[in-house]
Every structure is written in structure tokens, then in C-alpha cells.
A = this chain, B = another copy of it.
């Protein structure tokens, strides 16, 4: 390869762009939508890859050791996967990651400045995953990217990626949906609803108006919301391994949350210590109103909305799709990914559903790069025929007794 390789530090673009007037799915309009993004690598015209971040992630997807200026995100969220020589190789691809509307890392959201010079707060329009996709499209237009080689997203970022195949089916060749689903199940909807109530019942939330210097942030409520979220990302097995029932020692008890005197008779366990630490760390880096807005966008997302079925929604997509799921993930289950795979198969989109054996829970897509990288890398290069890519329809991964006798799905790969 003749392309000049430059050190990662010199390849990072980090900017915030005013894409002008933006009409939200709700019908509300803001006049100056700011969109923050980072980009890595060199654009050759055909090598752009958009990476969609998860719920509380940011545009700072890669670039270990570089200071992005993104609060609390000094360590990029997917630097094990995105970077020079990594699965999404920034020596090969021009990788763009965009902070979504409603978030708090530079793109317009509740904490950013409204028309009156004060933070929007809860006057910011409601945000949907569809709004994220359209803001990303505007940003890409602005920086001169038309067609994308691929859109890749994990968790709710995977919903965002699916939405690309629905809203802009001609704009991408390949779609990678990691640990995601066509819609949340009611168990997760319930947990998200409880998390939001933990925020809105914190008196410091104050109806969403807490941005003044004299006002304390709703740290306890936001921390509780994060603790609920964290448990959704872990599995029983990973928690057994990480914490067991071990005591963190009485000295370890933090002061983030009040307790009654009787609590002192019982151990302060490692699992509590971990959750309390995560709560404090998160409250320092994330905006409580953004957490309300983004969880609602996630809860609201439904691939089939406006269509007769998931398959109908995906039928205009002419590229190839990879679904990655993890056996220990109860937030976004392998069954949910299989259901999306079936939808693709039914409309003759070449798809592979690669199931990763893991007991890490939803976190697996972040913490097991050695299992995520190879199929992702291979798919970006060679599509569903990539060497490290497996598929449930051909490997018997689905507990479908029919497949033992008749490979009923294999013909669906021919278009």
C-alpha cells in the first residue's frame, strides 16, 4: 500500500459544525443546530465509515492518548476497535463519529445554549433516533462525505445504524449492528422509566432547571439512573466474577448516598462500592436532562415504525448487513438480533448474524475486542463472505430443529 501513514495524533479532526436550521421529528425547529464530531484517517472518496455511539458515549470513539477535550472521555470509548491497525483500521478507513442531538458533548442538547443565551433545559425539543440519523447526514454533507462504505453502531448506536438503512438505504454499502435490537423489550423500557424517575424526583433536578452556578446538579438521581444502567450492561456471571458477595471493607463506604445507622452492621459490598463509584464518576461527566432525552429516544425507537414490519422497513437497503450479538447480553439479546437477521433474510439482503459466546453481558461489545474485532474487520473487507464472519443460518447456532435436516435459509443468500 502506498498511502502515507501518519501518526494517529495528527489524523484526528475534532470540530463542531453549525448545520443551520433543524426540524425535529416532533415538528419543532431550532435555528442553529450545532453538531460535534471527530474524524480519523484520510478520506479517499470511498472509504468513509460512520460509527454511531451508545447512550452516554461521545464522538471520541478512538485516539488513545489524544486529548479530545470531551469532558470525562479522555479515554476513547472504542479505541480497542477503532484505530491504526485495529478492526476498523484508520489507516484504511476515514472514520467519522458524531455526537447525537440531545447529548452533552458539543452537539445541541438540553445543556447547550438556547436562543436566549441560557441553557435550553427541558425546552429543548424531544429527540428521536431518527433525528440523530438526519443530523449525522447533515454533518457528513457539510464535511463533504456522500456515500459511506459502512455504518457501524453498538447498543442504541446499533438502532441508529439500522435507521440509516431505513432513512438513507442508498447511502451505505455495509451495515454493522452490534449488540442491538429492532426495539427495546418491556423489561428494559421499565428499567429506563425507573431511571428517569430517579432523576426527576431528585429535588435538585428542579424541573430540569439546574444549570445556574448557584444550583446543585441532580447528582444523586443521575447516579441512581446510572447504577440501574450499569446493572443492565453486566451479566450475573460477570458480576459473580467481578464482585461475588465480597465486602469492600467498612472503610470503603463512600458518602455519595446517605444510609441509616443499622446499615453499619452489614458489610459494604464490592458491588455497592463499584456502583457508587460509577455513579459519582458519571454524574461528573454527564448531563441529567440529556439522560432523560436519550433514554426516551432509545425507548421510542422501533424499526418497524411507519412500515408494516421490520422486513418492510429494511427492504430498500441494497447493501450487506452484519449483526453481532453476545450470549450473555440480557439488555440486547441474541434472540433480538436473530429477529433482525430474519427480517433481512426475508427481503433477500445478504446478512450474517455472528453470535459471540461471552458471559460479559452487554458490556461484551466494549470489553471483548478480541471477539468483536475479527468478524467486524472481515465484514468491512469482504462482506458476509468474510473469513471470520459466521452466521446463525448456516452454523446451526439457532436452536431450530429444521436446520438439522434442511438448510432452509442458505438459498436466501443468493440475491
**Contact of B122 with A231 in the complex, beta carbons under 8 Å:** no
A300 at the B interface (CB under 8 A): yes
Cβ–Cβ contact A186 & B227, under 8 A:
no
Interface residues of A in 239-261 (CB under 8 A from B): 239-240, 242-245, 257-261
Residue of B nearest to A244 (CB): B186
A257-290 with Cβ < 8 A to chain B: 257-263, 265-267, 269, 271-272, 275, 289
A197 contacts B257, C-beta separation under 8 Å: yes
Is A123 part of the binding interface, using a Cβ–Cβ cutoff of 8 Å? Answer: yes
Asked if A411 is an interface residue, CB under 8 A from chain B, the answer is no
Interface size class of A (residues with CB under 8 A): 35 or more
> What residues of chain B lie closer than 8 Å to A197, measured between beta carbons?
220, 224, 227, 257
Q: Point out the residues of chain B lying under 8 angstroms from A244, CB to CB.
A: 186
Min CB–CB distance A136 → chain B (angstroms): 21
Measured between C-beta atoms, what is the minimum distance from A126 to chain B in Å? 4
Interface residues of A in 8-45 (CB under 8 A from B): 26
A272 to B234, CA, bound (A): 23
Give residues of chain A (281-319) contacting chain B, Cβ–Cβ below 8 Å.
Answer: 289, 292-293, 296, 299-300, 302
Query: Which of A151-159, A202-210, A376-384 has 4 or more CB atoms under 8 Å from chain B?
Result: A202-210
Please give the distance in Å from A281's CB to the nearest CB on chain B: 16
A187 touches B260 (CB 8 A): no
Stretch from A48-56, A89-97, A188-196 that touches the partner: A188-196
Q: How far is the CB of A276 from chain B (nearest CB, A)?
A: 8
In the complex, chain B residues whose CB is within 8 Å of the CB of A275: 190, 193-194
Q: Mark A170-201, 1 if CB is under 8 A from B, else 0.
A: 00000000000001111101110110111011
Q: Is the CB of B187 within 8 A of A234?
A: yes
Q: Are A187 and B236 in contact (CB under 8 A)?
A: yes
B-chain residues with CB within 8 Å of residue A259 when the two chains form the complex: 196, 200
Contact between A193 and B224, CB atoms less than 8 A apart: no
User: With A227-B194, A265-B26, A293-B262 given, is the CB distance from A271 to B186 under 8 Å?
Assistant: yes
A228–B194 contact, CB under 8 A? yes
A210-230 vs B, CB cutoff 8 Å, 1 = contact: the mask equals 000000000011001001100
Q: Are A187 and B257 in contact (CB under 8 A)?
A: no
Rounded to whole angstroms, the CA-CA distance of A231 and B187 in the bound complex is 7
B186 close to A260 (CB less than 8 A): no
A375 an interface residue at 8 Å Cβ cutoff? Answer: no
* CB-defined contacts of A227 to chain B, threshold 8 Å: 190, 193-194, 197
Cβ of A124 under 8 Å from chain B:
yes
- The closest CB in chain B to the CB of A203 belongs to B203
Contacts of A245 in B (CB 8 A): 183-184, 186, 189, 302
| B residues near A106, Cβ cutoff 8 Å | none
**CA A123 to CA B266, docked complex, whole Å:** 15
Tell me the complex Cα distance, A200–B256, Å.
Answer: 11
Q: Report the minimal beta-carbon distance from A290 to chain B, rounded to whole angstroms.
A: 11
Q: Which 4 A-B pairs have the closest CB atoms?
A: A126-B265, A122-B260, A126-B262, A186-B239
Residues of A within 8 A of B (CB): 26, 122-127, 183-187, 189-191, 193-194, 196-198, 200-203, 205, 207-208, 220-221, 224, 227-228, 231, 234-236, 239-240, 242-245, 257-263, 265-267, 269, 271-272, 275, 289, 292-293, 296, 299-300, 302, 330
| A236-B330, A262-B296 given; 16 more Cβ-contact pairs under 8 Å | A26-B265, A122-B260, A123-B261, A126-B263, A127-B262, A183-B245, A185-B236, A185-B239, A186-B240, A189-B269, A190-B271, A190-B275, A194-B224, A198-B198, A201-B202, A245-B302
17 A-B pairs whose Cβ atoms sit less than 8 Å apart in the complex: A126-B262, A184-B245, A186-B245, A186-B269, A187-B234, A189-B271, A190-B227, A190-B275, A194-B231, A201-B221, A201-B257, A205-B258, A208-B260, A228-B228, A260-B289, A262-B293, A266-B299
